[in-house]
């Protein structure tokens, strides 16, 4: 059986290392590849897959386009307006799902058991929508988006506002916007994390940095022992475990997959 992660760029992805570690742990003779596929190429790329294909993980910029590939869309993917997971049978897509949302919830709860009443998300794309919804799942009744281009964050704001809990959602510019709440989630590039932004995040109990490379980002590096840091690898592993279970029908070996991610990242860093 075959699976893959698709996106552009894709060479940096840790997903092959994680899934192959899971296969090895459970003795599965499966293959998982990284395929460079652009947004306009997704439909044809998926249509060309054979019956041996069981699942696809999707990253930028494919998560919203993926919803157009099937009428079978999970509630959480429909709510987020994005799918990072496609389940296939005989090479045909039978479900579009979103494991980023529950993966983000699990990643936070693994490291922080305190209250979440309000949160801030830096960014306005598909990952911002999933993590913003995750804040709502964790109890937030108000979510603030700080976006580099607020006018392009309308779809993300609408997705979060549609959560069944009916949260209050507002969108402000990333530059100068105040960070509020117990948790701040960053989905913006490391290059956008200037000293002013890092300083505005200093009062949150939890910093959730969705990136895992480069690491540490300026925001992640600012977190001391008195605060909680949730990293992009935490998110990646928890959502990958859920994908693994969907694709194989077997429980995902969390610690084996996490260890593979740590090893792979370590091999890429100097020293």
Cα dist. 145→18, 103, 172, 179, 192 in Å? 31, 20, 6, 9, 15
Non-local (6+) Cβ contacts of 207 within 8 A are: 183, 184, 186, 201, 219, 220, 222, 223, 227, 228, 229, 230
Predicted confidence (pLDDT) per residue in 171-217, tens digit = 999 999 999 999 999 999 999 999 999 999 999 999 999 999 999 99
Indicate if 85 and 127 belong to the same structural domain. Answer: no
What whole-number distance in Å separates Cα of residue 242 and Cα of residue 254?
10
Q: What is the CATH number of the domain that holds 23?
A: 3.40.50.10860
Q: What is the CATH number of the domain that holds 135?
A: 3.40.50.720
Bridge-based pairing of strands 168-173 and 142-147 is parallel
Indicate if 113 and 39 belong to the same structural domain. Answer: no
Indicate if 79 and 128 belong to the same structural domain. Answer: no
Mean pLDDT to the nearest integer, 222-244: 97
pLDDT on residue 271: 60
Indicate if 222 and 253 belong to the same structural domain. Answer: no
Is residue 191 helix, strand or coil? helix
What whole-number distance in Å separates Cα of residue 156 and Cα of residue 247?
28
Indicate if 259 and 142 belong to the same structural domain. Answer: no
pLDDT on residue 266: 92
Give the domain range for residue 246.
2-98+234-268
Indicate if 130 and 167 belong to the same structural domain. Answer: yes
Indicate if 151 and 228 belong to the same structural domain. Answer: yes
Catalytic residue among 63, 76, 163, 200: 63
Q: Is 130 a catalytic residue?
A: no
Non-local (6+) Cβ contacts of 224 within 8 A are: none
Indicate if 25 and 138 belong to the same structural domain. Answer: no
What whole-number distance in Å separates Cα of residue 21 and Cα of residue 23?
5
Token pair for residue 54? Answer: 């069981």
Axis-axis angle for helices 15-26, 254-268 (nearest 10) = 140
User: pTM of the full predicted structure?
Assistant: 0.95
Sheet containing strand 142-147, edge to edge, reads: 168-173, 142-147, 118-122, 183-186, 206-209, 228-230
Q: For the chain, what is the domain count?
A: 2
Indicate if 215 and 245 belong to the same structural domain. Answer: no
Indicate if 182 and 73 belong to the same structural domain. Answer: no
Mean pLDDT to the nearest integer, 22-45: 98
Tell whether omega for the bond before 9 is within 30 degrees of 0, i.e. cis. yes
Predicted confidence (pLDDT) per residue in 62-117, tens digit = 999 999 999 999 999 999 999 999 999 999 999 999 999 999 999 999 999 999 99
* pLDDT band (50, 70, 90) for residue 268: confident
b vs e for 172-205, b when ≥16 Cβ sit within 10 Å of the residue's Cβ?
bebeebebbbbbbbbbbebebbeeebbebbeebe
What whole-number distance in Å separates Cα of residue 19 and Cα of residue 31?
9
């Amino acid at each position: 059986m075959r699976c893959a992660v698709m996106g552009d760029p894709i060479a940096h992805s840790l997903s092959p290392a994680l899934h192959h570690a899971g296969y090895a742990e459970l003795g599965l003779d499966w293959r998982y590849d990284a395929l460079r596929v652009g947004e306009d190429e997704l439909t044809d790329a998926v249509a060309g897959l054979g019956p041996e294909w069981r699942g696809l993980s999707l990253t930028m910029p494919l998560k919203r386009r993926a919803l157009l590939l099937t009428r079978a869309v999970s509630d959480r993917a429909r709510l987020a307006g994005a799918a990072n997971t496609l389940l296939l049978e005989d090479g045909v897509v039978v479900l579009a799902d979103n494991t980023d949302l529950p993966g983000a919830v699990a990643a936070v709860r693994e490291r922080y058991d305190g209250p979440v009443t309000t949160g801030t998300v830096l960014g306005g794309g598909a990952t911002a929508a999933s993590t913003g919804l995750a804040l709502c799942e964790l109890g937030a009744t108000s979510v603030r988006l700080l976006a580099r281009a607020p006018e392009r964050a309308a779809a993300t704001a609408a997705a979060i506002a549609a959560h069944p809990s009916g949260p209050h959602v507002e969108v402000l510019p990333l530059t100068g916007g105040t960070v509020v709440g117990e948790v701040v989630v960053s989905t913006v590039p490391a290059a956008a994390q200037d000293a002013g932004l890092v300083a505005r995040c200093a009062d949150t109990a939890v910093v959730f940095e969705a990136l895992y490379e480069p690491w540490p980002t300026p925001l992640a590096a600012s977190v001391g022992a008195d605060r909680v840091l949730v990293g992009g690898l935490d998110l990646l592993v928890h959502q990958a475990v859920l994908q693994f279970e969907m694709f194989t029908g077997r429980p995902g070996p969390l610690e084996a997959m996490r260890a593979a991610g740590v090893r792979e990242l370590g091999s890429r860093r100097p020293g």
